[in-house]
Amino acid sequence: MTYRAPLKDMLFGMKELAGIDQVAQLPGFEEAGYETAQAVLEECAKLNEGVLAPLNWEGDKNPGAWKDGVVTTAPGFKDAFSQFTAGGWQGLQHPAEYGGQGLPKTIGAACTEMVNSANMSFALCPLLTDGAIEALLTAGSDEQKALYIPKMIEGTWTGTMNLTEPQAGSDLALVRTKAVPQDDGSFRISGQKIFITYGEHDLSENIVHLVLARTPSAPEGVKGISLFIVPKFLVNADGSLGKRNDVYCASIEHKLGIKASPTAVLVYGDDKGEVGPGAIGYLIGEENRGLEYMFIMMNAARFGVGVQGIAVAERAYQKAVQYARDRVQSRPVDGSLPGSAPIIHHPDVQRMLMTMRAYTEGCRAMAVVAAAAYDAAHHHPDAEVRKQNQAFYEFMVPLVKGYSTEMSLEVASLGVQVHGGMGFIEETGAAQYLRDAKILTIYEGTTAIQANDLVGRKTARDGGAQARAVAAQIEVTEGELAKRDSVAARSLLKRLREARQAFTEVVDFVAQNTKAKPNAVFAGSVPYLMLAGNVVAGWQMARALLVAEDKLAAGEDAEFMAAKIATARFYGDHILSKVRGLRDAIVEGADSVTAMPLESF
């Protein structure tokens, strides 16, 4: 079985939870209502199911190669990239004035999920190009925007982000790449960057590297970092390609997963190009504000990585369901069949499949609601409404990135477990999803870095105000559940109320102790992130249950709505129910994290 896009669930979340028709009332999105969303998603599904998904397993086995500085991508990738860009998918969310389609993130997030479910290694190239476009839109000059963005949107060129160096991973204060100013206003860039996704490849004519570097006069630390455009080939004033720049791929990494995505070591200033020693680069925005600009790329990428988690979880779930239907093993424990039956009849297999499904649907709902907030934050005519939505979206980003990626590991691991011994054999394909999922908790900021962001910037900084505003919205949903008399609604109400109360107790603990007892708070930062993500995803599942019950009562799509209710109830009973234990570990268990002397480890 190959991939089938979960269009019904995507469109349900988009319409009923994210309010796509309200998004379509925002200036600039007038044509982007439900019907447009449906048409776009259906077309996107065709490309991903028919072209990209069949290349996923092949790319894992034959991931392309590096030779003498040149990277040849996996079989089929080049043709697939041509079809992807010809369809306009790279420009889906980017402004029409540069050749994009200007559609809302609410629609774009679903398309991003499909591409990543179909082929995550492939999807990383468009993801990084999106980030580069966002950074240029925000901080680039009019000339830079006009020169680079249209080519990236049409897919003739791609983009990268160059942060990491051998000594500078998460701590970008240690960046040492140099940028020496020249008389013509350009800079000469020299240094080495590692872990550069699609830093070299054969999919496009040019690669636009966005590079963090220091000028000679820069202060130490993160305040002295600037951002530069360093194209693989220099660009002439008319947009044509000029000389080969002095940036080369020294090697590509051999990795646990996402094998078909070339991860490059790039060397700047090795005097191998046609421009003399030092790569030619161009300052983006102002000197020493590079980290600020790069965070624009990183925030866009962090949301995208969260969607990658949802995507790989969906693919693992589909694979596991198919196997559970086909694999005959053992008689059902309730005697419902006289002999051996497909393993989907076994309660524990059903538990695993329901866990996979509930996690995936909960995180998908959380992501699409966050995407709608992003659209309102950028397009709503009322400044106060924009501000509120921006605060909500920023609070959601570490949850979408952190919780969705951590859950994808659990889901992919369960997918292997459903397959039993065959899951441990590469030929079944189940293991690839587990290997691919692991990187999601690491790149674009590890889970701990997302947790630090949630604690420091998103909770302690405002004394927990935004977190409590979210809790207040959850309480409104509890009120709606309380009006229902169904078993599912009553069960979910109990779980959601307990989870929300635990969440607010943790928010109070974080807000009150971050300055006075930082070790105590940060010892529980990742558990806080997981708790918050769990609660918010559970809240969206509760909202989904309310809609599904109404539609089921009206006779609308009975099978889908009944399944949604069952999944929401399961989420409450088996996933939301974990929140209380997390609360206890955070609020009452901090001392035991740091009690052991370091020399005793």
Give the model confidence (pLDDT) of 126-151 as tens digits.
Answer: 999 999 999 999 999 999 999 999 99
Residue 441 lies in a domain: no
Q: Tell me the catalytic residues.
A: 444
| 574: in domain | yes
pLDDT given for residue 348 in this prediction: 98
Instruction: Name the band, by pLDDT with cuts 50, 70 and 90, for residue 171.
Output: confident
Q: What is the pLDDT of residues 266-323, one digit of tens each?
A: 999 999 999 999 999 999 999 999 989 988 778 888 999 999 999 999 999 999 999 9
Determine how β-strand 241-244 pairs with β-strand 70-72.
unpaired
Q: What is the pLDDT of residue 299?
A: 82
- List the domain range (segments joined by +) for residue 502: 446-591
Asked if residues 372 and 25 have their Cβ atoms less than 8 Å apart, the reply is no
> Which of these, 152, 105, 568, lies nearest to 362 by C-alpha position?
568
Whether pTM > 0.85 for this model: the answer is yes
Is 520 contained in some domain? yes
- pLDDT higher than threshold 90 for residue 432: yes
The pLDDT assigned to 234 comes to 98
pLDDT confidence of residue 296:
79
Q: Determine, yes or no, domain membership for 535.
A: yes
For 83, how many CA atoms within 13 A lie in the half-sphere containing its CB? 15
> In the numeric block, which tokens belong to residue 529?
């992130």
Residue 224 lies in a domain: no
Residue 419 resides in a domain = no
Q: pLDDT-based confidence at 169, cuts 50/70/90?
A: confident
- Interval 323-328 mean pLDDT: 96
Asked whether residue 497 is assigned to any structural domain, the reply reads yes
Percent of the chain at pLDDT exceeding 90: 96
Let me know if residue 583 belongs to a domain: yes
Cα end-to-end span (Å), the chain:
47
Report the alpha-carbon distance of residue 161 to residue 229 in Å, rounded. 10
DSSP-assigned letter for residue 278: S
pLDDT at 1: 59
CA 152 to chain CA centroid, Å, is 21
Rounded Cα gap, residues 510 and 468, in angstroms: 12
* Environment class of 382 (CB within 10 Å of its CB; exposed 0-12, middle 13-18, buried 19+): exposed
Residue 453 has pLDDT above 80, yes or no: yes
- Residues contacting 595, CB < 8 A, separation 6+: none
Q: How many domains does the chain have?
A: 1
